[in-house]
Structure 1
């Protein structure tokens, strides 16, 4: 099954480091698009769409799925909770009016297309005066906080209802936490997950490397690329299947032992293909079905002390996130959320 990464929070994905990393390390790159034949893609996404690398995710697929009713109920509940909090705090629910002409590549937290709403929620938002000012292209101005609640829930359920091997992809921890937010109860064993930080180790194609060169490299040097990707995936799967802290530590040591040779082979393949690159960082969240005990006392709080392998760092720690009911059934045995941080000036701390 092809591995897909869903970019959040915008439709268009900037022509930069994140997109190049996604093209290199995933089979498909996606974002949430209002409708088919959407006319305002950037030239880069249009090109990748023609090659079959970029695949749009349409809300309509969710609206007609078995998750549709649960999705609508979740939206109403989350907005009701938000209204209750703002009322209790004595804050004013401010509505932010955006410029009507901001249509091209709109940020999803500013404008919302009516086709991203099922009819019942369109009426609900209209009755509560959260949306207004339709324009000829179907974009509505929407309360900024309500838009954030809606779009993160839409992304969450789009992943959950997908039959693909699909994961969330962001370029900031803040955007990742909008979907998989921190659990308020750190004693809740069900909220535990492993947080793998492979730091200053992930080759990031430089901005002057074309999409064509990346795709040609993937085709010609797929053995080296697949070995590199498989090494990371194996660590995630092993941690997912581990049934004790000791076994997690064993897989950690096993990964470190084989990482140096695997990464050096991959770096050499990139250099031989004249793909210039920097070393960037990757954070992966991995579910832990084993909940027999609180693992943070055995593995660490958020991130353990760094285990150094030459100039490279691997950190494995325990995080607490509300994620159990937000993962696609096709994506249960490995990483479910990825933060890719570009690096041009030495080590980046995540």
Structure 2
């Protein structure tokens, strides 16, 4: 099954770092598009190029919103409930994102637009859509990404973004919550450096498909071992055992990128997953972040791999096919001082 990373909250992918990282660690990327065709003149040129390379898949949202009636109703109710919750009101008051938001008319449903009007959350209206608070727009686009992930068949769609505050807004504002855990790769994930070009990464992805898939297998194997752990000691044992394979995978991938002419750097990555075991959830919430150092460059310990647990909200949570799959990917922006991988 192919893995597709669905970027939100915007149509375009504004940060090159996210795009180049996502292209390495997924089969395809997507964004939610309010137009009826990829040939629309308003489509960004870089996405057209990726589409021609069969790497980008536009989600033409008008069709998706009308094809799945039951899931569509659940999506509407979850969003309406979230925007009337105490968590939402508290977050709006904090001004986590202090700038105006915008939602395209084609991405809205009639019920949600009416709800926003009733709650006085529409600040203005133009020919293409509505102006609202940025928190409202981010919450809606996150829920919309989760809706798309839930109804898409024959491939694994994972909502993804590049800012933690976006993920926080999208996964913490409904009353219905479920246990989850996050795998944290802190400053150890090899990604293309700032000098890498889109063309280089696309060619590298084609040439080194097997090596990239092998590294993804390392991460998947760790996830499955974590799920079977029940105590902090067992979690530490999983991480310590996994460190050797992760370091080998990092070193191999780093060398492969260097051989492909791509200068890489180490950045941070989080994968949010649904958690089934009550014992593991109790262990994680009591222990906090369980981590062990990782040595991405021989002789230099600069990063870590860790596990954290908590309660999140996710519209995807009841989709049987993704019960053991990633709910969200977060490629963090590269920080100053992160060492070069080669």
Q: TM-score normalized by structure 2?
A: 0.82
Aligned residue number for residue 264 of structure 2? 277
Change (3 A) 1:308 1:213: closer
Q: Deviations over 1:188-234 (max 9, x none)?
A: xx843322211222111123222221121112122222111211122
Alpha-carbon distance between aligned partners in 2 of 1:276 and 1:145, rounded to the nearest angstrom: 36
The Cα shift of 1:150 comes to: 2.7
SS of equivalent to 1:112: strand
Match of 2:148 in 1: 158
Q: Which residue of 1 aligns with 2:333?
A: 342
Match for residue 207 of structure 2 among 220, 231, 256: 220
Q: Map 1:256-335; keep pairs closer than 5 Å.
A: 256-292=243-279, 294-296=282-284, 300-301=287-288, 303-309=289-295, 311-323=301-313, 325-327=315-317, 328-335=319-326
Number of the residue aligned with 1:105? none
| Structure holding more helix per residue | 2
Larger radius of gyration: 1
Structure 2 partner of 1:203:
190
Segments of structure 1 that go 5 or more residues without pairing to the other structure are: 99-108
- In 1, Cα distance between equivalents of 2:152 and 2:179: 24
- What count of residue pairs does the alignment treat as equivalent? 323
CA contact (8 A) 2:87 2:174 kept: no
1-side partners of 2:249 and 2:215: how far apart?
6
Q: 1:140 to 1:193 in 2, by over 3 A?
A: closer
Alpha-carbon distance, 1:27 to partner: 0.8
After TM superposition, give the deviation of residue 297 of structure 1 in Å: 6.4
Partner of 2:78: 74
TM alignment of 1:1-350, pairs within 5 A: 1-37=1-37, 38-60=40-62, 61-65=64-68, 66-81=70-85, 85=89, 110-126=101-117, 130-131=121-122, 134-136=125-127, 138-163=128-153, 164-181=155-172, 191-240=178-227, 242-245=228-231, 247-292=234-279, 294-296=282-284, 300-301=287-288, 303-309=289-295, 311-323=301-313, 325-327=315-317, 328-343=319-334, 345-347=336-338
**Alpha carbon RMSD of aligned pairs, Å?**
3.2
Distance 1:237 1:84 in 2: 33
Cα deviations across residues 91-134 of structure 1 (Å, max 9, x unaligned)? 8xxxx9x9xxxxxxxxxx62211111123333444466544755
Please, which moves more after superposition, 228-237 or 36-45?
36-45
Q: Measure, in 1, the Cα distance between the counterparts of 2:161 and 2:17.
A: 12
CA distance in 2, matches of 1:194, 1:44: 34
Q: CA deviation at 1:70?
A: 1.4
Measure the CA separation in 2 of the matches of 1:14 and 1:84.
Answer: 26
SS in structure 1 of the partner of residue 185 of structure 2 = strand
Q: Which 5+ residue runs of structure 2 have no aligned equivalent?
A: none
